[in-house]
Chains A and B, each alone.
Chain A
């Protein structure tokens, strides 16, 4: 077949005819990306409020009677599931993926725009189903975000009738939405790159998002399988996961099922899911650091291969979440080994970020503050991950606050810092306005220092043995009184950090009206999204001609060049290059 790339053929665009088709039923990847971001933010705020109410209970037990024990478990479950799946996954892939991939690849839109639009609306449906579960009889499920059977569908667990069913349906619908979006992201990055944009000239953001998409496409089916089988167990009385259960002298109809089978399926999705969030975070952080340090990313090819290696390895570490499930110690040893191996490419990336900063012309713009903050939180969260990867350390720590501190640091705070950094960075391109710098800096310092005040003490009380998942600790011999004091201070810090996010929301909205025009390329960045003829980019992104790419994405401070950046689409001159 003749070698005709999609980019050459003048992709057919659906042209919007009305306000509705332009902003609501839109097939424009930028609008869809913003739709994803708005919905993910709203549902994320819901999860944030829930965490505040849980913290009030934990910090001042008995003082505020805002939530009952049942509600506490429901909030734990909803907070976890919303933040991991419906907020971060949707935000990174549906939000940033939609906006950045076509712009950075020099495409006019995604290759299947109609399916892309469908992806958002199905995602919205999944969110509505999830939120609806708060209002059904019995309320949302309180099984914990891992939804382990048998307790998830056994009477006595909050939401064991309707809540869990809606949760499972919502997840299945989300997976359908993600698959439609994911096929788009992958195919667009492979097939719709403009002339000259070879794979090794792609910005690392695209690499991270695309690799995360591949992980998602292959790993989400595991959750889908688990959700279908658990739904059947729940509704039709099959026994895939449900063993014989006797409750208060009454025998349930199930018999012989394997709860461990569910755990395998869940974590076969669950661990890659960590990297579905982490890889876009790595990619975007790399671009922020390189751009604002005015220096090429250190070890670009190594960074690409680290992303690929982490993606591959992430499929063979899942059972490290199951050390406490009665696993054969030799089996545990195997997974401890793979877990420690995956730290190698991850550490490479951290070194490369630090080496990119080394002797860079660092501009402490707001996005850069968040990117540097991310390096700190990610190192802390990553190192505690090495502790927990070892069976002998994990077993005593597994059910304590140490784990809460670890995973909030590594996949709560870190990705959120990058989400914020990315928004401060690309907001000017999406709206044409800068964001308010003072508010941005206040937001950064409150969030960054505040999260340390929240999560660092959790490691200490975790080592003391304070158990997680408890509604109230009560009086015990092993917990000194200072644990209660620490819990109060954590709660106060959490409320401050939670409140600081509303400064950010205000900044997002107010900057639209109050701030100065950004111009096309306020950060003097090299990548293609900053070189669009219009800001914000119009439908179709480019004029009649697509941009042609002449160099890689990191031509910052090139010796002999007259500016400290050379855009990817600027033709080579005698000064800057050969040819």
Chain B
């Protein structure tokens, strides 16, 4: 459970640090009058959706950290038979990295309100993401052909479950990607998709980092 605890400790340290800044110098019982938004304790400057995404990413991180903790605990047992990780996973990693780069390009273009840049970035990001998913399915087939079935060993079960759950989160992201792509191609102005593109690019980077940690874990056994 160490991984989860470290993650939670970091998160709590961040929350506590932020709260101290908000509350240390205030004496609410003695203060009266209007306080502007710039005063400590007002809302964050982020839009609500960005705060919502940040909270959601914390939830997903917690979910995967717990899976990683379970992985580390379970692999100590003698019946663990390490999987022969297929090489295709290296290619998938590169594909997801490219998807992330292009989403960042789309996000940058959205900030500058360049509609053509958004279109190119979004389409390329989407193509590479679908290629990544195809690569994952291919990897599943390879290890399935090796005879590594879900029930035959916990190492296999973890491989399927972790990559599957990660792919599900990518599919969720692709749903939002699809909506903004349709909007951009049907001629919506850049500012209308800016926030959604920006948040999606953050989500893609997050899923990339998550994949890198997961890939490291899978390779390490």
Binding site for B on A (CB under 8 A): 1, 3, 5-7, 111-112, 179, 182-184, 186-187, 190-193, 195-196, 198-201, 214, 217-219, 221-222, 224-225, 228-229, 232, 236-240, 253, 255-258, 261, 264-265, 268, 296, 300-301, 304-305, 308, 312, 315-316, 548, 550-552, 554, 572, 576-579
Contacts and interface: CB of A to CB of B under 8 A. Distances in A.
Contact size class for B? Answer: 35 or more
B55 interface: yes
Nearest to B42: A198
B65 to A, nearest CB: 8
The 6 A-B residue pairs whose C-beta atoms are closest, nearest first, are A198-B41, A256-B79, A221-B63, A552-B28, A577-B32, A199-B41
Nearest to B24: A301
A186 B37 contact: no
B31 A238 contact: no
Given A195-B37, A199-B19, A187 B55 contact: yes
B58 A217 contact: yes
A222 B5 CA distance: 12
B94 interface: no
Interface stretch (B8-16, B100-108, B126-134, B140-148): B8-16
A198 B157 contact: no
A268 B150 contact: no
Contacts of B157: 232, 238-240
A440 B155 CA distance: 58
A218 B11 contact: yes
A183 B70 CA distance: 25
A228 B43 CA distance: 37
Contacts of A186: 51, 55
A214 B5 CA distance: 15
A217 B41 CA distance: 22
Contacts of A300: 28-29
Contacts of B38: 3
28 contacts: A3-B38, A5-B37, A112-B48, A183-B52, A190-B43, A191-B46, A193-B43, A195-B36, A196-B35, A198-B35, A199-B23, A228-B161, A229-B161, A232-B157, A238-B151, A239-B154, A240-B70, A256-B78, A256-B79, A264-B1, A308-B19, A312-B16, A315-B5, A550-B33, A550-B34, A572-B32, A577-B33, A579-B32
Given A199-B41, A255-B79, A550-B33, A191 B59 contact: no
Contacts of B48: 6, 111-112, 187, 191-192
Contacts of A261: 70, 73-74
A268 B23 CA distance: 30
Contacts, number: 170
Contact of B66 (A257, A268, A577): A268
A54 to B, nearest CB: 33
A312 to B, nearest CB: 5
A217 B42 contact: no
Contacts of A316: 5
B4 interface: yes
A265 B74 CA distance: 12
Contacts of A187: 48, 51-52, 55
- A7, A193, A261 pick with most chain B CB within 10 angstroms: A261
Given A179-B59, A198-B26, A218-B8, A550 B32 contact: yes
B121 to A, nearest CB: 21
A268 B1 contact: yes
Contact of B150 (A1, A218, A236, A312): A236
B43 A5 contact: yes
Given A301-B23, A308-B16, A577-B33, A217 B55 contact: yes
A225 B16 contact: no
Given A218-B8, A221-B62, A253-B151, A229 B70 contact: yes
Contact of A258 (B31, B73, B161): B73
B29 A554 contact: yes
A320 B74 CA distance: 21
B58 to A, nearest CB: 7
Given A198-B39, A238-B157, A296 B44 contact: no
Interface in B172-193: none
A84 to B, nearest CB: 20
B216 interface: no
B84 interface: no
B41 A268 contact: no
Contacts of A315: 5, 8, 12
Given A1-B45, A200-B22, A232 B161 contact: yes
A265 B58 CA distance: 18
Given A186-B51, A256-B77, A268-B66, 20 more contacts: A187-B52, A195-B34, A198-B26, A198-B42, A200-B26, A218-B8, A232-B150, A261-B73, A264-B73, A300-B29, A548-B34, A550-B32, A551-B28, A551-B33, A552-B28, A552-B29, A554-B29, A577-B33, A579-B32, A579-B33
